[in-house]
Chains A and B, each alone.
Chain A
Amino acid sequence: MATRYFGQRIRRNEDPRLLTGQALFTDDVNLPNMLHVAFYRSDYAHGKIISINTEEAKKRKGVIGVYTAEDLGDYWQRGPLLVPPPPIKDIVFNERTQVPLAKDKICHAGEAVVMVVAESRYIAEDAVEDLEVDIDPIDAVVDIEKALSDESPLVHDDIAKNMAAHVVQEKGSYSAIRDQADVVISKKFLYDRGTAAAMENRGVVANWDERNQQLTIWDTTQAPIPIRNGLASMLGLSQSQVRVIAPFIGGGFGPKIMMFYPEEVLIPWVSKKLKRPVKWIEDREENFFSTTQERGQVHEAEIAVSSDGKILGVRDVFIHDAGAYAPYGLTVPINSQCTLLGCYHVPNYYSEFTAVFTNKPIVTPYRGAGRQHGVFVMERLLDLAAQKLGITPVEIRSKNFIQQEDFPYNNEIIYQDFSPLIYDSGNYAPALKRAVELIEYDKFIKEEQPRLLKEGKRLGIGIVSYVEGTGIGPYEGARVTVEPSGKINLVTGIGTQGQGHFTSFAQIVSEVLDVPVADVRVVTGDTLEFGWGSGTFASRGAVVAGSACHEAAIAVKKKIKKLASEVLEASEEDLEVGNGKVQVKGVPDASISLGELAARANPLRGAVKPGTEPGLEATSYFGPSRGTTASGVHAIIVSVDPETFLVNIERYIVVHDCGRVINPMILDGQIQGGVAQGIGNAFYEQLCFDENGQLLNASFMDYLIPTSLDVPKIEGDHIETPSPLNPLGVKGAGEAGSIPVGALYAQAIENAFRDCDLEILEIPLSPNRLYELCSQAKECGEK
């Protein structure tokens, strides 16, 4: 289908403002008479609060207020459970959500204990130093495997064995087929914790306007509408009295969908109490403790394979680190459980997990949201099985792919959106074939690798596949308005954190109404402009909000044609909309511009006919029945320095399938950025906690995120398998890049050391850790 705007590489509408420093970020909000907040955060990961003395802090000049949990009175409430447990048989779920300020007990280092409000941030931080907080430390729960033992201390005194949840999902019967297998691989896998580290830290500015009885909040959230609804309820205001603006946001990656962070509850409250604007901006150190994190899981997994390389079944039992509280329910471990099945036909699957509370920062989804772990386990099992069978990683994957004719494919377990895990569409073999071609897999194995090894160079190749469940419900909405200027206003409820929504949503509408993309003004993330929706998460913006934009544009086009048929005295079928006007087909003189038509649709005199609405405007909603499944194949060639064990990426290929593509430039950017984050995650991004639950590397000096010297050029291609679940045929792409990198990296490193018995069963894998593993491996040590 020929398109003018949809599918085109169109540069972004939002860039000029961002490039010139004119775009508004939360910390840019500066209001007269504004106060500033700093928090006292616990140095201990686990402890009882004995006493808090605020006397000295209150005396300091410029301090306006000092608040502890006691001072909040009835406003002190646990945060809401955002995602209830899914309807899975015999599920155990022990709910425990976060508090605005710690009362009695500290559950993780960095937990907020006291809020100080002052005339400046500098004074507020001085006053935090004045506080005397006496905390009696308790042994911390850090190691997730020990958390479940009888001897372990308890994070929450009333939750036995620190068990946050226990879930079993089963398809077929693994135990029944295990004995029929020719090869069974059984291993333990570790995937450790990292942090999203968006370049912009979190922040909240609240302004209670006493005379207008209106509360305005600027918040670095991915979910402005739920924040508004929740705050209205907590503060006893109507939803229309609260306006939440998620302005430009400096990267989200998941942790900014978490709600309610303590600061999101406290800053609006204190603004209302003091009747002054109040600002809190997180600093980088706070970000390492108070923004949510992800990834810690330990899996004991097994794959049963027949001699011809077919998967008979998989068994996986894992422990998931929930952190100190679990406001996001089971989204992350359910994603791990479901995504493990990957692109493969797995006839029998037994998956059991236990989520445990630990004295570490809260775990909620971070780009990939549990999918990494599942992919790592499955891809590693396949690699080990292939080795045992003497076939290549490419062969074992090809043999087990779900075939194109088998879609929709039912995995017979429940996904994070509570719907059955049914893949809507996919075509996996061509993506693998293309990646093999692009990376020249066979040539590398047969010619390059042996030749380079003779020169003393250790190079390895890896190739893995994955799926990504995207675009889940419940719904999003959009409003399209033709303005009298002839330009289009497009408003959606979801916020934006750099995904290019100002452009890709505009492209969708431009395609329907045939107006230039630059003439579509997009507004996102302001509850005053649009108040219905849920948020930007689970790679759903383009799928769900994008489809709503499309439906609203079609509805407006109908209105345009209806009114134009009256004005031009022609039947609607004879009209065409294009180039900013409506015209009778084949009669260029019989036309009217969209702007003029919009003015006529909103007359100052006369009557709007009964049963019609003024204006050329329409609001539409889109709610998919279930998520749509994207997929891809990544391939890599790495070289390992035999002295330092520094790993260098020589080539990186991505062949990705996210259905129809709205803007290939933006999509490539999403993939490249995702891979970069995956590289950090696989290579060296690891939050190191000591036995007291103390984070040892809470700065960018010690927690390394990839730089321009670490991320290679990413090459690739796209396969387009449209989704049948939305009118655009699109699938989400936000998280894909980061998901398979750990598995890919492990396979390539093993391949580089194929003459040793090196097994990579853990991620991340720094050069130090790789050196240790190589030293331990037989054969490797002396090389």
Chain B
Amino acid sequence: MKICVTINGQKYERDVEPRTLLSDFLRHELELTGTHVGCEHGVCGACTILLNGEAIRSCIIFAVQVDGQELTTVEGLGEIDNLHPIQEAFREKHALQCGFCTPGFLMTLVPFLKENTQPSEQEIREAISGNLCRCTGYQNIVEAVKLAAKK
């Protein structure tokens, strides 16, 4: 099936099998490998991306379902020399260790911080409770979100 999607502002037209997962499409077809896959059953949140501005899990949706839609992946946030404020805050507060789950956290937090500019600690913890991190114990992620909110 032919699909057309806009990702990080760029248009892509591709033929895909209907059963192709969106995460596989992004990673292996388009080589947007910043989106990671941790569980393939929608629990860990590593594959979180934005669909029309809303955080979704790309491992439990098919590529054909996003035909004609707009997506944002971590590659669309900031660049190595010009980090997005939330990326900058993650670096400042040591909110990542192995970094595998990080893109999913970032993509969960972008719409959260847009809607909630002054979140409480509890609100932050609830917002990221659907993303698993095995390295940090979350404390520094919470600190980073507080810092990003201030910015």
Contacts and interface: CB of A to CB of B under 8 A. Distances in A.
Contact of A676 (B24, B92, B137): B137
B94 A250 contact: no
Contacts of B80: 16-17, 20, 22
A15 B86 CA distance: 13
Interface stretch (B50-58, B111-119, B126-134): B126-134
Contact of B125 (A250, A252, A708, A714): A708
A497 B98 contact: yes
B46 to A, nearest CB: 6
Contact of B92 (A11, A30, A674): A11
Interface residues of A, number: 58
Contacts of B73: 21
A114 interface: no
A688 interface: no
B6 to A, nearest CB: 18
B94 A19 contact: no
Contacts of B132: 199, 700, 705, 707
B39 A19 contact: no
B141 interface: yes
Contact of B91 (A11, A196, A666, A713): A11
B100 A672 contact: no
A21 B96 contact: no
Given A122-B17, A283-B40, A200 B90 contact: no
Given A669-B136, A672-B136, A284 B129 contact: no
Contact of A284 (B41, B101, B138): B41
B99 A19 contact: yes
B94 A11 contact: yes
A122 B90 contact: no
B97 A21 contact: no
**Secondary structure of the A contact surface, majority rule:** loop
Nearest to B32: A21
A677 interface: yes
Contacts of A737: 137
Contacts of A284: 38-41, 44
A517 to B, nearest CB: 13
A662 to B, nearest CB: 14
A711 interface: yes
B143 to A, nearest CB: 9
B94 A16 contact: no
B87 interface: yes
Contact of B96 (A18, A27, A672, A674): A18
Given A30-B31, A711-B138, A199 B87 contact: no
A673 B100 contact: no
Interface residues of B, number: 61
A10 to B, nearest CB: 10
Given A250-B98, A284-B38, A20 B79 contact: yes
Q: Which of A22, A28, A250, A701 has the most CB of B within 10 A?
A: A250
Contacts of B141: 708
Given A199-B134, A200-B98, A708-B141, A19 B106 contact: yes
Contacts of A21: 32-35, 73-75, 103
Nearest to B33: A28
B93 to A, nearest CB: 9
Given A676-B138, A699-B41, A498 B97 contact: yes
A248 B98 contact: yes
Contacts of B31: 30
Nearest to B21: A122
Given A12-B91, A19-B78, A709-B126, A701 B138 contact: no
Contacts of B96: 15, 18-19, 498
A713 B122 CA distance: 12
A390 to B, nearest CB: 36
A457 to B, nearest CB: 19
A669 B97 contact: yes
A199 B78 contact: no
A249 interface: yes
Contacts of A700: 39, 41, 43-44, 132
B134 A19 contact: no
A499 interface: yes
Given A12-B91, A15-B91, A28-B33, A199 B133 contact: yes
A122 B19 contact: yes
Contacts of A293: none
B142 interface: yes
Given A17-B80, A708-B141, A669 B94 contact: yes
A253 interface: yes
Interface string A640-675: 000000000000000000000000011011101111
Contacts of A201: 38
Interface in A9-46: 11-12, 14-23, 25, 27-28, 30
Contacts of B139: 672, 711, 713-714
Contact of B136 (A253, A497, A676): A676
Contacts of B99: 14-15, 18-19, 23, 248, 250, 498
Q: Which of B75, B80, B139 has the most CB of A within 10 A?
A: B139
Contacts of B17: 122
Contact of A20 (B75, B130, B136, B140): B75
Nearest to B31: A30
Interface in A186-236: 196-201
B17 to A, nearest CB: 7
B102 interface: yes
Interface string A691-734: 00000000111000101110101100000000000000000000
A699 B43 contact: yes
Contacts of A12: 91, 94
B77 interface: yes
Interface string A309-336: 0000000000000000000000000000
Contacts of A711: 137-139
B130 to A, nearest CB: 8
Interface string A556-575: 00000000000000000000
A749 B38 CA distance: 33
B144 to A, nearest CB: 11
B114 to A, nearest CB: 19
Nearest to B128: A708
A615 interface: no
A199 B98 contact: yes
A253 B134 CA distance: 9
A197 B41 CA distance: 14
B147 to A, nearest CB: 12
Contact of A701 (B32, B41, B126, B131): B41
A500 interface: yes
B55 to A, nearest CB: 15
Contacts of A121: 24
A248 B34 CA distance: 12
A541 to B, nearest CB: 13
A665 B81 CA distance: 22
A27 B80 CA distance: 21
A324 to B, nearest CB: 25
9 contacts: A12-B91, A15-B90, A30-B28, A673-B134, A699-B43, A700-B39, A708-B124, A708-B126, A709-B129
Q: Sort A-B residue pairs by CB-CB distance and give the 10 closest, nearest first.
A: A21-B34, A250-B100, A498-B98, A18-B99, A676-B137, A498-B97, A672-B137, A700-B43, A28-B33, A21-B74
Interface of B: 17, 19-20, 24, 27-28, 31-41, 43-44, 46, 73-75, 77-81, 83, 87, 90-92, 94, 96-103, 106, 124-126, 128-142
Interface of A: 11-12, 14-23, 25, 27-28, 30, 121-122, 196-201, 248-253, 283-284, 497-500, 665-666, 668-670, 672-677, 699-701, 705, 707-709, 711, 713-714, 737
Given A16-B83, A19-B102, A199-B46, 15 more contacts: A19-B91, A21-B33, A25-B100, A27-B36, A28-B33, A248-B98, A248-B100, A498-B135, A672-B139, A677-B134, A699-B39, A700-B41, A705-B134, A708-B126, A708-B131
